[in-house]
């Protein structure tokens, strides 16, 4: 399991499998973000070009609403390093475990 940006993802496999999958997903997100930015730029250029043209007013308004509704794709940075600092534990004592009336058998 991996928790990133508040979303939980499940990966089956070892850590190197997770790293590979994470990189693949990140590359896909980067490409999707580039495509989205290109589309947004084209839409904004259309709006700027035809903003004051009466015959295109409806299309311009439609594109403005479309821009407002778009969920922007955000690509997270590389995996952040997390460091933990645990307090020094108290000494537990000399006796770790005491057992009484224990039996051991084979087979």
pLDDT tens digit sequence for 24-62: 988 998 999 999 999 999 999 988 888 888 888 899 999
Residue pair 32/72 in contact by the 8 Å Cβ criterion: no
Q: How many domains does the chain have?
A: 1
Q: Report yes or no on 93 lying in a domain.
A: no
CA gap 29, 78 in Å, rounded: 13
- The domain of 58 spans 2-69
Q: What are the tens digits of pLDDT across the range 62-106?
A: 999 999 999 888 877 666 667 788 899 888 788 888 899 988 888
Q: Report yes or no on 94 lying in a domain.
A: no
* pTM score, whole prediction: 0.59
Q: Report yes or no on 104 lying in a domain.
A: no
Q: Report yes or no on 78 lying in a domain.
A: no
First to last CA, the chain: 39
Q: Report yes or no on 44 lying in a domain.
A: yes
Note the pLDDT of residue 41. Answer: 94
Neighbouring residues of 17: CB distance < 8 A, sequence distance ≥ 6: 11
Q: Report yes or no on 64 lying in a domain.
A: yes
CA gap 73, 32 in Å, rounded: 7
Q: Report yes or no on 7 lying in a domain.
A: yes
Q: Report yes or no on 92 lying in a domain.
A: no
Can you name the residues that pair with 8 across neighbouring β-strands?
A: 3
């Amino acid at each position: 399991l991996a928790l990133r940006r508040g979303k939980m993802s499940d990966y089956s496999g070892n850590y190197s499998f997770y790293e590979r999958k994470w990189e693949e997903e990140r590359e896909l997100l980067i490409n999707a973000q580039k495509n989205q930015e290109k589309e947004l730029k084209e839409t904004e250029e259309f709006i700027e070009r035809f903003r004051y043209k009466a015959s295109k007013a409806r299309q311009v308004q439609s594109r403005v609403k479309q821009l407002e509704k778009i969920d922007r794709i955000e690509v997270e940075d590389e995996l952040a390093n997390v460091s933990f600092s645990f307090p020094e534990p108290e000494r537990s004592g000399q006796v770790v475990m005491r057992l009484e009336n224990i039996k051991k058998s084979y087979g």
